[in-house]
A and B are shown apart, each in its own frame.
Chain A
Amino acid sequence: MTILIDRNSRVLIQGITGAVGSFQTRVMKDYGTRIVAGVTPGKGGTEVYGVPVYNFVEEALQEHEVDAAISFVPARFAKDAALECIDGGIRFLVVTTEGIPDQDVMTIINYAASKESIILGPDTPGLISPGKCKLGVHPDRMFAKGRVGVLSRSGSLSYEVGRLLTESGIGQSTVVGIGGGPLWGLSQRAILKMFHDDPETEAVVLLGEVGGATEQEAAAYIEKYMTKPVVSLIVGRTAPRGAQMGHAGAIIEGEEGTAESKIQALRSAGCLIAQSPSEIPTIIKKG
């Protein structure tokens, strides 16, 4: 068992016929993910790499059992697609889409919560349980099977750290991107709890960045509940205040948003602090 998905998870893909959706369908299938159906309105009856395409989620669910879904639907239609998925009763949805309006994201995450569905994202690369299953866009050869859980706001940073861990012979149980923010379905705290409860995870790497207060919330959880070691890296230490550094979340406004205050909160919660990705494997081997 890994967190959120395993090798038996049956997956539906929303936006399967688009350029990114179809390419990633092939990559995930090659990795061993059980993709059972795809949905694109108006493209029902076609196939993408052998996966049947439907016009509606409901039609796909009449033919297939589905445990999880991943959406590559463009920002303007992302809310509608997510609501369709949730109404279909799919319990776990990864929303990769970047640039969804905040009010739509609030609709998605609050509606999901009311229907007991779980949203990962938006603006996330998804998640990968190396050697088992991938529900996302991670470049998979940077990752290897093992017992360290990784969670990250940034996709690229999780690739960077995954690659260094793998090269040092440290495999990963699951690598999760929560998304670029500023709004999230699953929070850092929620993923930490899953790693805490996962018998296959022995240590956790928490990758954060400047902006917002989500690392402080994670630190409070770690201090109170976490018994597994947590290594943390916060990027953007040298980023100027008030400047937007790519991610919607990565803009330093209040004191809470500074790297300094995040590092301090995590350190006093008992986390081991890395200054750069290359320190992370060393810290884990020592710990």
Chain B
Amino acid sequence: MRLLEFQAKRLLSRYGIPIPKSVLVRSPDDLRKLSFPVVLKGQVPVGGRGKAGAIRLAAQPEEAMAITAELLNSSVKGYPVSAVLAEEQVEVKQELYLAVLIDHLVGQPLIMASATGGVDIEETARKSPEKIVTKHLNHFAGLPDYVVRHLAKHTGLKKLEDFRRIVNQVYQIFRNYDATLVEVNPLALTPNGLVALDAKILLDDKAAYRHQDLFARLQEEQKGSAKSGKTSAEQLAAEKGVTYVTLNGNVGMISDGAGTGMLTLDLIQDAGGRAANFCELGGLAGAESMRQALEVVQANPRAKVILIGLIGGLTRMDEMADGIISYLEQHGKSRPLAVRMCGTKEEIGKAKLHMVGIEAVDDLETAVNTAVKLVREPS
């Protein structure tokens, strides 16, 4: 889960990391708590807000309310601005960068810092990576002080104490909340010391059960931030817990594995077609999962044909056939189906499908070619 800026900063503040004085703007009264000028920041779960015009400056309250109203009607990269954070402007002498994340390749946390943070950090990483100092941590050993001093030296900071406290607290947040990334960018050097001006925090959804209250609150606050224009198929998929991604083509697809699912997308394109979606059942799926996946895929009007590619390890083909048949009982063959079936109990599965007039094939490429040919034929 990606936290909105105000949620991330609330967490930083709770750990004693200085943030600008700020309020979420709900009414003109809220703004009285701040001294002007203020920075108004549209809250969206994506980067590039500044360039999209979602970060603005206001000199006095009336202007701030007008801009807030404007921002609340806007969106960034398809994400509606659900809230506006107003912050007192601070005097910035230098923008630093600080992050703790998981380096998946190494299987250890990684800490990074730079004297040149801010919006261009990705370009700095590309063009002059030597300006970013990185250090692997040991998951068991925590954050040694020499690493903090090493980062401080590299960033040229004169006062170590503030920086040491902030780095340690960022690391604590990373550990305590099952974060996969805690990034403070910029970490601004101001006349009053270091202040976190923006922050990005990613929490591990797999660990949500350990932080139930926090996740529930964050999700509640993010309700208005979901990407707009969700299709009916996407809504249905979210309700049913089906892995589903909308794509641009017209060949609907369902797979019982992620790897073969991605392979199926590639094969559809190689055969001259385009997939309408990506839909994967996962290893332990039964008949009901299959039926629900079909419901979701057929809810996309662009899917002219549905390709079902199954190669069961843990999934059982007799159960998959039951799922397909129960879907057909409700919907009939409103869309042609092309089925590939292979693996555990495939004879029973194929025989069941044969009874309802569906001939499942053994080979994925054959099924893909059939599906692509079917969408080309005028119906």
List the interface of chain A (C-beta within 8 A of B): 20, 75-76, 98-107, 109-111, 114, 125, 137-139, 142, 152-160, 163, 180-184, 187, 207, 209-210, 212-214, 217, 235-240, 243-250, 275-278
Chain B residues contacting A244 (CB-CB under 8 Å) are 243, 245
Mask: chain B, 87-131; 1 = CB below 8 Å from A; 0 = not: 000000000000000101101110000000000000000000000
Q: Among B247, B258, B260, which residue has its beta carbon within 8 angstroms of that of A250?
A: B258
Q: List 15 A-B contacts (CB under 8 A).
A: A102-B102, A139-B343, A154-B262, A156-B256, A156-B257, A156-B258, A157-B257, A159-B260, A159-B343, A160-B260, A207-B259, A243-B278, A245-B261, A246-B282, A249-B104
Chain A residues contacting B283 (CB-CB under 8 Å) are 98, 155
> Is B348 an interface position by the 8 A CB rule?
no
A182 touches B104 (CB 8 A): yes
Which chain B residue shows the least CB distance to A259?
A: B266
Q: Among A20, A152, A163, which residue has its beta carbon within 8 angstroms of that of B311?
A: A163
**Minimum C-beta distance from B108 to chain A (A):** 7
Q: A99-B206, A106-B139, A246-B280 are in contact. Are A154 and B104 (CB under 8 A)?
A: no
Which chain A residue shows the least CB distance to B344?
A: A139
B108 touches A138 (CB 8 A): no
Q: What CA separation (Å) do A243 and B280 show in the bound complex? A: 13
B313 touches A155 (CB 8 A): yes
A154 touches B209 (CB 8 A): no
Chain B residues contacting A248 (CB-CB under 8 Å) are 206
Q: What CA separation (Å) do A120 and B139 show in the bound complex? A: 19
B260 touches A154 (CB 8 A): yes
Chain A residues contacting B146 (CB-CB under 8 Å) are none
**Minimum C-beta distance from A125 to chain B (A):** 6
**Minimum C-beta distance from B296 to chain A (A):** 14
Q: Among A212, A245, A249, which residue has its beta carbon within 8 angstroms of that of B278?
A: A245
B209 touches A76 (CB 8 A): yes
Chain A residues contacting B342 (CB-CB under 8 Å) are 142, 163
Which chain A residue shows the least CB distance to B46?
A: A242
**Minimum C-beta distance from A89 to chain B (A):** 19
Q: What CA separation (Å) do A275 and B269 show in the bound complex? A: 12
B311 touches A160 (CB 8 A): yes
B258 touches A238 (CB 8 A): no
**Minimum C-beta distance from B300 to chain A (A):** 15
Q: What CA separation (Å) do A235 and B263 show in the bound complex? A: 5
List the interface of chain B (C-beta within 8 A of A): 102, 104-105, 107-109, 138-140, 175, 178, 180, 204, 206-207, 209-210, 243, 245, 247, 255-263, 265-270, 275, 278, 280, 282-284, 311-314, 342-344, 364-365
Q: What CA separation (Å) do A142 and B107 show in the bound complex? A: 33
Q: A153-B259, A239-B265, A276-B270 are in contact. Are A110 and B344 (CB under 8 A)?
A: no
Q: What CA separation (Å) do A250 and B178 show in the bound complex? A: 20
Q: A238-B269, A276-B267 are in contact. Are A156 and B311 (CB under 8 A)?
A: yes
A103 touches B260 (CB 8 A): no
A217 touches B104 (CB 8 A): no
B105 touches A217 (CB 8 A): yes
Chain A residues contacting B260 (CB-CB under 8 Å) are 154, 156-157, 159-160
3 cross-chain pairs, A with B, having the tightest CB-CB distances, nearest first: A154-B259, A156-B257, A246-B258
Q: What CA separation (Å) do A163 and B267 show in the bound complex? A: 17
Chain B residues contacting A160 (CB-CB under 8 Å) are 259-260, 263, 311, 364
Q: Among B102, B255, B269, B284, which residue has its beta carbon within 8 angstroms of that of A156?
A: B255
Q: Among A138, A155, A238, which residue has its beta carbon within 8 angstroms of that of B259?
A: A155
**Minimum C-beta distance from B33 to chain A (A):** 37
Chain B residues contacting A276 (CB-CB under 8 Å) are 263, 266-267, 270, 365
Chain A residues contacting B365 (CB-CB under 8 Å) are 276, 278
Chain A residues contacting B243 (CB-CB under 8 Å) are 244, 246
Chain B residues contacting A250 (CB-CB under 8 Å) are 258, 262
Q: Among B108, B175, B178, B258, which residue has its beta carbon within 8 angstroms of that of A247?
A: B258
Chain B residues contacting A137 (CB-CB under 8 Å) are 313-314
A156 touches B259 (CB 8 A): yes
Chain A residues contacting B180 (CB-CB under 8 Å) are 102
Which chain B residue shows the least CB distance to A123?
A: B283
A109 touches B107 (CB 8 A): yes
**Minimum C-beta distance from B125 to chain A (A):** 10
Which chain B residue shows the least CB distance to A276?
A: B267
Q: What CA separation (Å) do A104 and B210 show in the bound complex? A: 12
B104 touches A181 (CB 8 A): yes
A180 touches B258 (CB 8 A): yes
Q: What CA separation (Å) do A160 and B264 show in the bound complex? A: 11
Chain B residues contacting A210 (CB-CB under 8 Å) are 262
**Minimum C-beta distance from A213 to chain B (A):** 6
Known: A111-B140, A163-B342, A238-B265. 15 other contacts (CB 8 A): A110-B108, A125-B313, A152-B259, A156-B261, A156-B313, A157-B263, A182-B104, A183-B102, A236-B262, A239-B278, A243-B278, A245-B245, A245-B262, A276-B365, A277-B364
